[in-house]
Structure 1
Amino acid sequence: MYISRLRVNHKKNPLGFNLAKIHLSWEVKDVCGKWAVETRIIVSESSNMEKLVYDSGVQKNYHENQMLVSFDLKPRTRYYWQVEVKDDKGDCAKSNPAWFETGKLQESWTAKWIGTEENEKRMPLLYKEFELKEKPESVRWHVCGLGLYEAYVNEKKAGREFLMPGYHCYDSFLEYQTLDVTELLSQGKNKIAVLLGEGWYKGRFGFDGDYRNLYGNQKKCIGELHIRYANGQEECIVTDSSWKAEESSICENGIYDGEHIDETLEHKMLSVEEIEETRPLVERFNPRIHKVEEFQPVSVKQEDEALLLDFGETVTGWVEITGAFETGQKVMMQYGEVLQKGRFYRDNLRTAKAEFTYVSKGKGETIRPHFTYYGFRYVKIKGLNPEKEYKFIAYRIMSDIERTGWVATDHDKVNHLLENTLRSQKCNFLDIPTDCPQRDERMGWTGDAGIFASTACFHMDSGSFFNHYMKNMQAEQEKCNGAIPFFVPRPKVKKEEHTNPFYLDSGAAVWGDAATLIPWRLYQFYGDKAMLEEQYPVMKAWVDYEYERTKENEIPYLWQNDRQLGDWLALDNGNINNPIGKTDSGFIASVYHYWSTKMVKEASESLGLEESKVYAEREKEIRNAILNYYFPDKKFCLEYTQTACALLLYLKLYPEGEREVITAKLAELLKKNNGHLNTGFVGTPILCMALSENGQNQLAYDLLLNEDYPGWLHEVNLGATTVWERWNSLEEDGSISGTGMNSLNHYAYGSIAEWIYRYMCGLNPSIGEAVKMTIYPMPDQRFKKAEGSWRSVFGKYVCAWNWKSEQEVVCNIEVPFNANARFILPDGTEEILDCGKYEKILNMRP
C-alpha cells in the first residue's frame, strides 16, 4: 500500500494561498484490500510530525479520500500533514509528510503601497538594497504589484510564476503572492526589486473600444520580506518611501498588443511615493501561472526578409530566442494562428497587434516578453542575422492544474479531436477561463465556462481553477444584485453613449446559469462539500434573481420577458451572419431557469439545508408552467428545432407519452439536415447526450463522425489543432471565413468530449454521493475499441471495451481503492462494484 497525491484545497504544497477552509485529499494505491477500515490525519508544526496541532483520531470505516480539518492557524507558518490508512486486509501505510504554509492571514501590513510618476512608455523598476548579517534560514516575500509584476532578488527572477498577480476583480480585492526566496539571499549586500507592467489592471483591455485604466491609473506595488535566522531572530524589509526606482528597458506593453523592450535606453532615476489604497489585500486564490510545456519549431522557412516559424500546434504563451545579438539590433516578432495561401496572417486578431520587439545592447542572451502573452501557432521574426545561429522555444503558459482524463480509440481523427479539445482548454485556462487567447478579447465569458465545465473537469483537475473563477463571480454578482455578467471579471467600462451593452448588462440565461452549472459540476466531480458550501450562495442568489425576473412575466415562473442571446451561433436561422439561433429565446431561458433551480435544490439537499424544500417546490412549479404553456393539449406549441428537442429530452421536460414523439422529431430534423447538426452554444453540448439517453446512440455517433461541414471532424480534416469558435471558421480551401468574430481557439464546442467520456466510455462521476461513479458504456461498431480513464480523488477509474463478436463486447473496468461504481448493462441490469478489476461481457443484441 502506498499513499500519494496529497493535496490541500486541490493544490500540491500550497504556499501563501487562501486557507479559509482546509480540505485535504489523498490517493491510496497498490492495495490488497478494497476499503479503509481505519483512517487518521495528523497536522504538525514540525516536519518530524511531533508538534501536533490537529489529530483526527482513528476514523473507523471512513470511505472517503478527503477530509475537512479545522484548527487555529498562525500567520506565516508552515504546517506538515500526514495520512495513515489501514485496509480491510490488514495492510497499513503512512504517507510522507506534505505541507501547506499560511500567508499573513489577519496580520496587519506594515508595508506601504509605493509607485512612481506614471508613464505608459517606460515601465518602472522599484528596488531596495540592504545588508544581511548572516545567511537566513528562511525568507518569505509577501508581495503584490499592479497591473502586473515580476519580482527579483539579486538580479534573479523570484519563483517560476509569470503574469502575477493574475487577473481578478481588482475593484473588490487584491490577491497577493507569497514567494520563498530563501536560496536567493546571502550574507552581506542584497537587492530586491519589483518590475511593473500595465496588464489587465490599467493597460488596453476589452473588445470594441480603446479601454484603459479600467481598475486604476497608476502602477504600484507592496511587499514585506520576512527574514528569519537560525537563532530565531527575525527582521522585515517593507516597501516604503525609502525605496529607489529607475526606468526599466521595458517600454509599451499590453495584453493585446504585446511588448517593446529597448536595452539601449538610459535608465533614468525616478522618485518613489507612497500611495493610499483601500481595497483589501487577500491571500491568493488563483493557481500559479507558469510554463507547462515547450515546443521547438517543426519548420522554419523564409518569408520575404523574415523567418516564418511553425510550432506544429496552437500554443498560448510566447517564444523565447537565445543567441548573440549586436548593439542596436532590433528583433521583431509577430504572432498568428493560421496561414493564408502559405503566408503569415493575423487579420482575425482584429485590433490586437500581438507583437514583440526587442532592441539589444549587444550580448548573448535569451529574450522574452514579461507582461503579455499570445495565442499562436506561427511566428514571423524580422531582424535576425542570417549569419548567426539562434535557438527558438515556444512555451505554453497556463494555470497550474494537472491532467486527469484520457481517452484512446482506434479512430485517429477522433483521437485528434480529443487532443484538440484538451489543447483548447490548456490555451484558455490562463488564470480565468477565457473565450480565446489571441484576439482583442481574451475575457472570462460565463456562458462558455458553464457549458464546458464538465469537459474541463474530465480533462484536468479544475477544482482550484474554477474555485478562483467562482470567487470572482461572487464579487461581480454582489455588484449586480444577484445577476451574473456576461464575463467574469467584468472590465469596469464606463457607461457612455456608444458603450457595448455586454459591459453594462447582466442577467442573461445560459451565461448567468454558469453560477449553478459550475458549482454543481465541481461537486459531482470532486465531492468537496466545503467548496459547494462556499459557492452555494452564488447559486442561490442567481436562481432567486431569475425567479424575481419571472414575476414580471405574463406567465408566472416562465422567463420570457428579457432580452436573451438564445442559442448563440446556431446555424438554423437561415442567416449565417445572425448569431442568434431559431430556438425561441424565452423558451431557452425558462428551461434554464428550471435546470438551475433543480441544481440549487440538489445542492441544498446535499448540504442538508432546510430551504431545499422551497426549491423543490419551486422546481415543480416551473416544470408545470413549462408543460402547461409549451405543451397545450400535450403538443409542443413552438417550432421544433434540434436545440429545443435536445433541451426537452436532456432535462426530461415533456408530458407523459411525448418522449417518443420528441425523439422521433429530433431524428427527423437531423435527417432533413443531411445528418448534420445546426445547433449553437445551447444545443451542441447536450445534443449527443440527449440522443444517447433516448435510444438514438447511433445518431450521436453519426454526428461525432461527420467529416464534412458542420462537424467536429470537418475541423480536424482542415488541420485544426484546437476547437473553433464557429463551425465554418475556415472555408473548404482553408481560407478564413471572416475576421469580425472568428477565433480558431474557442473551447465551447469542445464539450463533445463530455459525451465521449460519459457515453462512449461510460464514465459518469458522482463523487459527492454514496455511489461515486456510474459506468454505462455505449459502444458503436464503427469503433473496434475505446478506453477512457479519469483520475478521481480516489484514484483512476477505467472503462475499456472492444468488440468480441458482432453482438458481444468485452468491457474491462477498474475501480480505485475506497470507492465504488454502479455498472449498468445494455439491458438495464445494475451491479455495484467495489475496488478492483473486472471483465464484463456486454450483450449488444438489439
Structure 2
Amino acid sequence: MLSVYDLTCEYRRNPIAIEQQQPRLSWKLRADTRGVMQSAYRIQVAQDPEFSKLVWDTGRVDSDSSVLVEYGGKPLHSRSRYFYRIQAWDAGGQSSDWSELAFWETALRHDEWQAAWISSSCRQAEEAEACDYMRHEFTIGQDVVSARLYVTAQGLYRIYVNGLTPDDSLLAPGWTSYHHRLQYQAYDVTGLLASGANALGAMVGNGWYKGNLAWEGKRNFYGDERALLLQLHIVYADGSEEVVCSDDTWQCSNGALQRSELYHGELYDARLEETGWSEPDFRGEQWQAVRIIDREYEGLVAQESDPMRIVQELQPLQLLTSPRGETIVDMGQNMVGWIRFTAQQEAGAIIELQHAEVLDRDGNFYTGNLRTASQTVTYICKGGGEETYEPFFSFQGFRYVKVTGMPAEELLERMTGCVVHTDMEPTGSFQCSDHMLNQLQRNIVWGQKGNFVDVPTDCPQRDERLGWTGDAQVFIRTAAFQFNVAPFFTKWLKDVGADQQSDGAVPHVVPDIPGVGYGSSAWGDAAVICPWTIYECYGDRRILESQYNSMRAWVDYIRAQGEQEYLWNTGFHFGDWLALDGKADSSFGATPNDLIATAFYAYSADLLAKTAEVLGKSDDAEAYRELNGRVVHAFRAEFVTPSGRVASQTQTAYVLALMFDLLEERDRPRTAAMLAEHVRASGTHLTTGFVGTPYLCLVLSRFGYTELAYELVLQKEYPSWLYSVSKGATTIWEHWDSIKPDGSFWSDEMNSFNHYAYGSVGEWLYRIAAGINLKQPGYKSIQLQPHISGQLSYVKAELKSMYGDIVSGWRRDDDGAIQLEVTVPANTTAEVVVPAGRRDITEHGTGIDGIEGVLEVSEDAKRVTRLKLGSGTYCLKLSASREHCDEAMPEAAIRMP
C-alpha cells in the first residue's frame, strides 16, 4: 500500500506568509513493501479545501521528484491561503490515494503596507532603557471569517490580542542585518477576536537592535530608537475587509519591565503592573499618544526561518549551598533560555536570579567567564498571592542559578528551566556502546541548541553571542545531521550576502558588528561552504542560485588579496584558532596562516566551480576549475617540498592538504601516514584548533586509519573530546582545557563552556562510525558504510532526510558475528558497503541472492561487498570475523564538505 505523507512547503508544515511566487513542495512516501520508487506524481493546488477552485493541476507527471518541487500554476495572490494535495505512483503503476490536505499562505505584498512606525513618547532620560508598552482599541461589528496580524519592530516585541499572545514564538522579529533586512511575522488571530470591543497591546524592548552588543558596553549599532509596525487584516462574512494599523491613535506608557538586555537580564517591578492593559475597556489615565517616526518599508521580509520558542522544559537537579554560603540551584544541564519561577512574598520583596555555567573548584558560584554580562533577573514582588515570572526579551546561558530573596526549601519545586532556541525539527540521533561517547553526542546536540538562537552564535552566555562565520562553517555538516537547518541557514546566508562588502569581503560575524572586522580565511569561506553544504544535504538548488553572487564575490576577493595571484599571503587571519601547538600565551596555532588561507582559497574555488556547474554556468565553471588548479599548483610550490612533504609539520597542515586534495596523488598516502604518526607520537592526542579539528578524523578514515580515529575520539585524557566529558561537561567547551586537570580555569577572558565548534566531530560519528553518507544531493542516493571497530560493541544512527528515515547501525554478537540494521526510505536507493564476502551475508538465514530488495551485488578482492538496496528495513548478519575498518574510504565518502 503506497501513501503520501509529511507534506511541506519551503520546508515548513502549513506556513503562513510565504514570499516566494514559486514555493517548493516536498513530500514523503510510505509503503509496506521493499524497493519502492516513485514513478509519477500529481499535485493539485486550490483556493478552497474542496478543490473546486483549482489554480494548479499538474496532471500525472512522470518523475521521481518528491523534494522541493516548484509551484508552476497561476500567479499567487497576496495574503491568500492555498491548499494542496499530492498523489503518487510507484514503479509498478500502483497509485496512492490523495494525501491529507496541507496549505501555505502567501505574504503581504510590499505595496500593501500602510501602517505607520510608532514609538513611545513616555520615556524620560533616566528611563531610557525601560521597555515600551503600547496599546490600541477598535470595534468589530460583524462576523469575522479570518484575521491576519503582521508585526515587526526595531527591537524585540511581544504582541497581545485581547490580552492573549497569538502563538508561542519568542524574541521576534529575530536578528538580521537590520540596515538591509528586517523580518516581520504573520499570525492567524481569527480565534482571538470578538464581536464588539477589541484591543491590541505590544511590549517593545532593546534586543539586538539597540541593546548592548559585543564588547566595551557598546550599543545602538542599528539605531537609537525602538519602534513598532503593525497591520491587522480582518475579513468579514460579507466579504468586506478592514485594516487596523499602528498609527497616531495608539497610546503608550511605561510599565513593569524596567530593564531588559540580552546580556544583562531583566528588572521587573510587579508593583507597576497595570491589569488589563492589553485588553479592551482599559482605562489608562496616564497613557499618552505615541510618536510617528520616519522609516520606510524598505527591507521588510516575511519570517524566513523557524521561530524561536520554548522547546523543552527542565526541572532542577539539586539544591546546593556553596562554601561561601550561596544558595545555588543546579539545573543539571548547561542550557540556554531562562528560569520560570513562582514566588509568594510580600510587596516590595526583591528576588534575584544570577546565572552561571560552572562552579569553581571549591564549589562557589563562578561568573568570571561572563566578562561584563551580568545575566541577572531581578523581580520585585507586588504581594497578595502567588506570582509567576519569566523573562521577555533576554536569555541566559547557564547550568547554575544563584538565588536570593526566596526560601531555599521552595526553590526546586518553584523553578522550571525553559530551553529556548530556534525551533528546528530534530532529524538525527546517534548512540553507541560507550556511555562517555554518548554523552559527547548529547553535548554536541545541546551545544547546537544553545547557539542556534536565530543566528549561529559562538557562545550564549558572555558579552558576545555573535554570529561568527568560521564557527558556523566548521559545524554546519554536523548541524544538518542533528536538525533540519535548511531554513535557518537560508535566512542567515542572506544576511551574509547583505553584509558582504563591495569588494567581496565577508564579515567575521554576521549580522555584522562594526569594528569586529572582515576578510579572514576559513571565516569568510562560510559564504561558499555553507550554501554548498545545504545543497548537498537537502538537494536545495535554489540556495546556490540565491547565494551565487555572494559566493563568487568572496572568491574574487581572495584572488585580489595575495601578493601573488594564486597565494593568499596577506591580511589578518584567525588561522587554526585555539590550536594547542601554538605559543603558550597565544590563541593562534602553529600552522602558518598563509598555508591555511591558500588551502581554503583552493577549496572555495573548487566549490564555486561545482556550484557554477550545477547552475549551468559553464563558462564560470571552467574559469573557477582553472583557478582551483592554479591555486593548488601554487600551494604545492610554496608549502610542499620537492620530495612531496608538507613543509609545515602540524596536524592541521597535513589535514588540510589531504582534505582539500592539495597534494599530488602519489604523495597523499605518505602524508596520511605522517599525520597518523604525528597523532600517535602525541600519545593519541590531537593538537588541532578550529580549522583542523573538523577534518582530522575524516582524513584519517579516508586514508585507512579509522581505528586510529576511533582511538582519538575515545581518548579520555587531555587533550581530547572526552576529557571535557570526564570533567562533567554537558555542552562543548571553547577550549580543550576550559577546566584544567587541577580544576582551575583556562582564563576568564575567553572561556565559554557552550561553544559548538569542536562538536564538529559529530559529522565523523554519523558519516564514518555509523556510516550514513550521501551519493546524490539530498540523500536521493545514499551510501551506508558503517565502520566496525573493536573498541565498541554497537553503533546506531538515524537521520530523517527529505525522503524519510535513514537508519544505519551495527552490533557485534557474542560469537563475533556482526548484525547490521539499515533502513532506506521510499523513493531512494542505497549502496551498502559490507566488510564481508557475499557468501557471509544473510538475512534471517537467507543468502543475499534471495533477499527481497537487493538490486545489485558486487564483491572486490578484499572481500568487501557492495549491495545496492531498494527502500525498506534490512537486518543483515555478517558471519565473517575479518573486519575492514582500516581500509581506505571511497573518495566520495569523505571528499564532500
Q: Same fold (TM over 0.5)?
A: yes
Summarize the Cα distance change of 1:639–1:385 in structure 2 as closer, same or farther, 3 Å threshold.
closer
549, 566, 573: which one aligns with 1:557: 566
504, 508, 511: which one aligns with 1:489: 511
SS of the counterpart of 1:658?
A: helix
SS of the counterpart of 1:94?
A: coil
Residue-by-residue CA offset, 1:356-399 (whole Å, 9 max, x unaligned): 11112224332011110001111112112568786211111111
Residue 42 of structure 1 pairs with residue 44 of structure 2? yes
81, 84, 109: which one aligns with 1:81: 84
For 1:523 and 1:719, how far apart are their aligned partners in 2?
37
Contact 1:65/1:818 (<8 A) preserved: no
1:135 deviation in Å? Answer: 4.3
SS of the counterpart of 2:488?
A: helix
Contact 1:631/1:655 (<8 A) preserved: no
For 2:325 and 2:816, how far apart are their aligned partners in 1?
62
Summarize the Cα distance change of 1:614–1:840 in structure 2 as closer, same or farther, 3 Å threshold.
farther
For 1:7 and 1:228, how far apart are their aligned partners in 2?
26
Contact 2:250/2:289 (<8 A) preserved: no
Letter in 2 for 1:507: G
**Equivalent residue, structure 1, for 2:393:** 371
**Equivalent residue, structure 1, for 2:210:** 202
**Equivalent residue, structure 1, for 2:538:** 526
614, 625, 630: which one aligns with 2:639: 630
1:137 deviation in Å? Answer: 2.1
For 1:734 and 1:60, how far apart are their aligned partners in 2?
64
- Once the two structures are overlaid, the 10-residue window that deviates more, 248-257 or 362-371, is 362-371
- Once the two structures are overlaid, the 10-residue window that deviates more, 69-78 or 311-320, is 69-78
347, 350, 354: which one aligns with 2:375: 354
Summarize the Cα distance change of 1:637–1:710 in structure 2 as closer, same or farther, 3 Å threshold.
closer
Letter in 2 for 1:834: G
Summarize the Cα distance change of 1:247–1:574 in structure 2 as closer, same or farther, 3 Å threshold.
closer
For 1:530 and 1:443, how far apart are their aligned partners in 2?
27
**Equivalent residue, structure 2, for 1:296:** 315
Summarize the Cα distance change of 1:812–1:385 in structure 2 as closer, same or farther, 3 Å threshold.
closer
Contact 2:646/2:653 (<8 A) preserved: no
Question: After superposition, where does 1:608-757 map in structure 2 within 5 Å?
Answer: 608-610=616-618, 611-636=620-645, 638-757=647-766
334, 338, 342: which one aligns with 1:322: 342
Contact 1:807/1:844 (<8 A) preserved: no
Letter in 1 for 2:220: N
SS of the counterpart of 1:189?
A: strand
- Once the two structures are overlaid, the 10-residue window that deviates more, 21-30 or 416-425, is 21-30
Residue 515 of structure 1 pairs with residue 515 of structure 2? no
SS of the counterpart of 1:310?
A: strand
Contact 1:523/1:529 (<8 A) preserved: yes
SS of the counterpart of 2:271?
A: coil
Summarize the Cα distance change of 1:763–1:368 in structure 2 as closer, same or farther, 3 Å threshold.
same
Residue 260 of structure 1 pairs with residue 267 of structure 2? yes
SS of the counterpart of 1:156?
A: coil
Letter in 2 for 1:441: E
Residue 99 of structure 1 pairs with residue 103 of structure 2? yes
- Once the two structures are overlaid, the 10-residue window that deviates more, 530-539 or 452-461, is 530-539
Contact 2:817/2:877 (<8 A) preserved: no
For 1:465 and 1:412, how far apart are their aligned partners in 2?
31
Residue-by-residue CA offset, 1:599-633 (whole Å, 9 max, x unaligned): 11111212222221111221222122222332342
Summarize the Cα distance change of 1:135–1:28 in structure 2 as closer, same or farther, 3 Å threshold.
same
Residue-by-residue CA offset, 1:385-426 (whole Å, 9 max, x unaligned): 568786211111111211111111111111111011011001
Summarize the Cα distance change of 1:309–1:637 in structure 2 as closer, same or farther, 3 Å threshold.
closer
Residue-by-residue CA offset, 1:219-275 (whole Å, 9 max, x unaligned): 110111111122222111111111111112111211101111112238743331111
Letter in 1 for 2:153: G
**Equivalent residue, structure 1, for 2:58:** 56
Summarize the Cα distance change of 1:689–1:266 in structure 2 as closer, same or farther, 3 Å threshold.
closer
Contact 1:103/1:142 (<8 A) preserved: no
1:38 deviation in Å? Answer: 2.0
245, 255, 258: which one aligns with 1:248: 255
1:34 deviation in Å? Answer: 1.0
1:280 deviation in Å? Answer: 2.7
476, 486, 508: which one aligns with 2:499: 476
282, 306, 328: which one aligns with 2:301: 282
Contact 1:244/1:272 (<8 A) preserved: yes
Letter in 1 for 2:78: P
Residue 6 of structure 1 pairs with residue 41 of structure 2? no
**Equivalent residue, structure 2, for 1:496:** none
**Equivalent residue, structure 1, for 2:856:** none
For 2:535 and 2:778, how far apart are their aligned partners in 1?
9
Residue 271 of structure 1 pairs with residue 292 of structure 2? no
**Equivalent residue, structure 2, for 1:498:** none
TM-score, normalised relative to structure 2:
0.90
Contact 2:641/2:647 (<8 A) preserved: no
For 1:625 and 1:301, how far apart are their aligned partners in 2?
60
Summarize the Cα distance change of 1:121–1:557 in structure 2 as closer, same or farther, 3 Å threshold.
closer
Summarize the Cα distance change of 1:226–1:656 in structure 2 as closer, same or farther, 3 Å threshold.
closer
Question: After superposition, where does 1:533-572 map in structure 2 within 5 Å?
Answer: 533-550=545-562, 553-554=563-564, 556-572=565-581
583, 601, 606: which one aligns with 2:614: 606
1:807 deviation in Å? Answer: 7.2
SS of the counterpart of 1:525?
A: helix
- Once the two structures are overlaid, the 10-residue window that deviates more, 819-828 or 83-92, is 819-828
**Equivalent residue, structure 1, for 2:366:** 345
Residue-by-residue CA offset, 1:500-524 (whole Å, 9 max, x unaligned): x5x2x31110000111111111111
SS of the counterpart of 2:329?
A: strand
SS of the counterpart of 2:749?
A: coil
Question: Please, which runs of 5 or more residues in structure 1 have no aligned partner?
Answer: 494-500
**Equivalent residue, structure 2, for 1:497:** none
For 1:139 and 1:737, how far apart are their aligned partners in 2?
55
For 1:212 and 1:635, how far apart are their aligned partners in 2?
52
1:661 deviation in Å? Answer: 1.8
Summarize the Cα distance change of 1:641–1:805 in structure 2 as closer, same or farther, 3 Å threshold.
farther
For 1:722 and 1:467, how far apart are their aligned partners in 2?
26
Residue 832 of structure 1 pairs with residue 868 of structure 2? yes
Residue 462 of structure 1 pairs with residue 485 of structure 2? yes
Letter in 1 for 2:292: E
Summarize the Cα distance change of 1:133–1:799 in structure 2 as closer, same or farther, 3 Å threshold.
same
Which has a greater percent of strand? 1
Letter in 2 for 1:844: E
SS of the counterpart of 2:741?
A: coil
Residue 383 of structure 1 pairs with residue 401 of structure 2? no
Identity of aligned residues (%): 34
Residue 435 of structure 1 pairs with residue 444 of structure 2? no
Letter in 2 for 1:412: H
- Once the two structures are overlaid, the 10-residue window that deviates more, 82-91 or 822-831, is 822-831
Summarize the Cα distance change of 1:20–1:51 in structure 2 as closer, same or farther, 3 Å threshold.
closer
1:159 deviation in Å? Answer: 1.6
Cα RMSD between the aligned structures? 2.0
Letter in 2 for 1:86: W
Summarize the Cα distance change of 1:61–1:238 in structure 2 as closer, same or farther, 3 Å threshold.
closer
1:122 deviation in Å? Answer: 2.1
Letter in 2 for 1:593: Y
SS of the counterpart of 1:549?
A: coil
Residue-by-residue CA offset, 1:271-319 (whole Å, 9 max, x unaligned): 3111111343221223211110001101124457764211111111000
SS of the counterpart of 2:118?
A: strand
Question: Please, which runs of 5 or more residues in structure 2 have no aligned partner?
Answer: 275-285, 836-861, 887-897
**Equivalent residue, structure 2, for 1:211:** 218
Aligned length: 830
**Equivalent residue, structure 2, for 1:414:** 437
SS of the counterpart of 1:542?
A: helix
For 1:752 and 1:394, how far apart are their aligned partners in 2?
28
Contact 1:523/1:767 (<8 A) preserved: no
Contact 2:343/2:387 (<8 A) preserved: yes
1:597 deviation in Å? Answer: 0.9
191, 196, 211: which one aligns with 1:188: 196
For 2:707 and 2:409, how far apart are their aligned partners in 1?
59
